[in-house]
Chains A and B, each alone.
Chain A
Amino acid sequence: MFNAITQSQIYVLDQDEALDFYVGKLGLEVAADVELGFMRWLTVSVPGHPERQILLEKPGAPAMSEETAEQVRELVTKGAMGGWLIFTTDDCRKTYETLLGRGVEFTEEPTERPYGTDCGLRDPFGNRIRFTQPLA
Chain B
Amino acid sequence: MSRAVEDSNRRMLRARDAMDHAYAQPLDVPALARIAHVSEAHFTRTFRATFGETPHRYLQRRRVERAMFLLRETDRSVTDICFEVGFGSPGTFSRTFRDIVGRSPRTYRKETPATGVPTCFAMAWMRPSSAPSAD
Contacts and interface: CB of A to CB of B under 8 A. Distances in A.
User: Chain A: interface secondary structure?
Assistant: mixed
Contacts of A111: 119
B2 interface: yes
Interface stretch (B3-11, B25-33, B58-66, B97-105): B3-11
Interface in A70-87: 70, 73-74, 76-79
Interface residues of A, number: 20
B17 A74 contact: no
A47 B95 CA distance: 51
Interface of A: 13, 70, 73-74, 76-79, 107-108, 111, 113-115, 118, 120, 122, 125-126, 130
Interface string B21-52: 10000000000000000000000000000110
Contacts of A130: 120
B13 interface: yes
User: Chain B: interface secondary structure?
Assistant: helix
Minimum-distance CB pairs A-B, first 4: A77-B9, A77-B6, A107-B17, A70-B2
B50 A78 contact: yes
Nearest to A71: B2
A73 B10 CA distance: 11
B118 interface: yes
Nearest to B10: A77
B72 interface: no
Given A13-B6, A73-B6, A108-B21, A78 B120 contact: no
B84 interface: no
Given A108-B21, A113-B118, A120-B120, A74 B13 contact: no
B39 to A, nearest CB: 20
Contacts of B7: 77
Nearest to A86: B120
Contact of A78 (B2, B13, B116): B13
Contacts of B118: 113, 115
